């Protein structure tokens, strides 16, 4: 019986150790649409700045568009694929669906706490050539 308890304890310890070593930090992705002409977008920018203060590993991608925005053509495809149609709107981690700015903070908090990445990425020996805009790096993925 003592051997069985020792065996079970060893399995539990190895499972908890493996979970900690397999999962890396979750960097939540916030993708939102904005525009140079948008009157509500400064409120969205302020919300994002506050999110970044509390969750600095949040990755933010802004897609400009509509009306006379100079980046409209550039980001029109991704905006339509994600379903961003009002300004500012966002999708968090591509899991939340399209949500309004009042829900961004809560969704970032939930995803940063509840979702664990299934992969860890390690980047070593990187170099960047600004003239050719070429990045060379060794990347190791741990599943």
pLDDT of residue 18: 41
As a whole number, the mean pLDDT across the chain is: 81
Mean pLDDT of 114-120: 80
pLDDT of residue 53: 96
Distance between CA 133 and CA 124 in Å, rounded? 18
Domains of the chain: 29-114 (3.40.30.10)
Tell me 23's DSSP state: -
Cβ partners under 8 Å of residue 123, min gap 6: 137, 138, 139, 140
How many whole angstroms from its chain centre is CA 25?
11
């Amino acid at each position: 019986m003592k051997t069985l308890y020792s065996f079970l304890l060893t399995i539990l310890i190895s499972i908890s150790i493996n979970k900690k070593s397999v999962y890396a930090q979750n960097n939540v992705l916030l993708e939102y649409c904005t525009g140079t002409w948008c009157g509500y977008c400064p409120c969205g920018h302020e919300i994002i700045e506050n999110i970044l203060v509390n969750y600095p590993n949040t990755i933010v991608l802004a897609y400009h568009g509509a009306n006379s925005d100079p980046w409209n053509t550039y980001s029109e495809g991704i905006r339509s694929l994600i379903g961003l149609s009002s300004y500012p709107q966002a999708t968090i981690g591509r899991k939340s669906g399209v949500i309004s700015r009042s829900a961004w903070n809560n969704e970032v908090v939930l995803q940063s706490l509840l979702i664990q990445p299934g992969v860890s990425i390690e980047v070593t020996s990187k170099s960047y050539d600004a003239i050719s805009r070429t990045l060379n790096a060794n990347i190791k993925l741990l599943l």
